Amino acid sequence: MSVTQLRPAATNPVVRLTAISSADKKRAGIPISAVTAYDYPTARLVDEAGIDLVLVGDSLGMVVLGYDNTLPVTVDEMLHHTRAVARGLRRAFLAADMPYGSYHMSEDDAVRNALRFIKEGGAQAVKIEGGQPRASLVRRLTESEIPVVGHIGLTPQSVHSMGGYKVQGRTWEAYDRLCRDAEALESAGAVALVLEGIPRELAARITHQLRIPTIGIGAGPDCDGQILVFHDLFNLTFAPHPRFARQYGDAAAFFGSALSKYRDDVAQRRFPSDAESYHLPREMRTELDVLEPAASDR
């Protein structure tokens, strides 16, 4: 069995980031860094690298669980991963995606599900997709002390109604609607807004228009912050790279070559070595040499 060394208690107290810290960063003109995480080791890496905001995204469905899209992801799956991420974070602000179906039936149902992310998952905010039609729910969640991150533009849970994953806001009508969506979500109490898959010019306009921070993904450099999916950063999606997903490492190549070496070492009996083996106590080994002389050759 291998054990993960859990972190010792902090010697120097770490200040936990909150929704308020993100708003402060916007006011100070300091960009907000954000990335998704889905488990304890990646949460630790992300947190220890000083990333400001961690999202347990429902992209979990594709990049970790192997579903075709985000639609099958359940509240229980999201909670399982949110808890793991929460255990790995000390400093970063933690938001969790509410999956498809968990806030679509009624506001009561949505509040009940959202509370689970805060109480059981350890999240500090939930994220929901959609614009003006979600404003009333955002208000209700906010009044229930549940900070909400909005998400507009290319909203993957609407893949069927959008007719695929397409850049949004490229007509004047869509441009104006997204500006109104952003306004409505801010007025309803959203603490931040993810802008996904929209033209740079529109993201800049929305960012300028809002007091709350915008976090862009495929929305250009003028947002208050940027978010990427962890697996996109490290070439772990087994899929073509979207234009906006800059690759910062090739974990697929790294893991692939390490695994091939391991497989070869096992096949050639180069692993494990004697130094990687446990041994009987010295006296027993001496006795064993007498009792079973061939054993020492084995």
Cβ atoms of 52 and 225 within 8 Å: the answer is yes
How many C-beta atoms surround the C-beta of residue 248 within 10 A? 11
Residue nearest to ligand KIV (CB): 57
Cβ atoms of 125 and 146 within 8 Å: the answer is yes
157 three-class SS: helix
State the nearest-atom distance from the C-beta of 11 to ligand KIV, in Å: 33
Q: Measured from the CB atom, is 58 or 186 closer to ligand KIV? A: 58
Q: Measured from the CB atom, is 190 or 256 closer to ligand KIV? A: 190
Q: Measured from the CB atom, is 113 or 269 closer to ligand KIV? A: 113
Binding site residues, ligand KIV, CB under 6 A:
36, 55, 57-59, 97, 151, 194, 196, 217, 227, 229
What crossing angle do the helices spanning 135-143 and 107-119 adopt, rounded to 10°? 50
State the nearest-atom distance from the C-beta of 127 to ligand KIV, in Å: 7
Q: Measured from the CB atom, is 184 or 229 closer to ligand KIV? A: 229
State the nearest-atom distance from the C-beta of 10 to ligand KIV, in Å: 28
Residue 243: both structure tokens together: 């234009």
The catalytic site residues sit at 196
Rounded distance between C-alpha atoms, residue 65 and residue 88, angstroms: 20
Q: Please, what is the Cα angle at 190 between 198 and 45, to 5 degrees?
A: 75
Q: Measured from the CB atom, is 182 or 287 closer to ligand KIV? A: 182
Burial class (CB in 10 A: 0-12, 13-18, 19+), 50: exposed
Q: Is the dihedral of CA 164, 169, 171, 174 positive or negative?
A: positive
State the nearest-atom distance from the C-beta of 105 to ligand KIV, in Å: 21
What crossing angle do the helices spanning 135-143 and 172-188 adopt, rounded to 10°? 20
State the nearest-atom distance from the C-beta of 55 to ligand KIV, in Å: 6
Contacts of 218 by beta carbon, 8 Å cutoff, 6+ apart: 154, 167, 196, 197, 198, 242, 243, 244
Cβ atoms of 95 and 56 within 8 Å: the answer is yes
State the nearest-atom distance from the C-beta of 214 to ligand KIV, in Å: 12
Q: Measured from the CB atom, is 49 or 295 closer to ligand KIV? A: 49
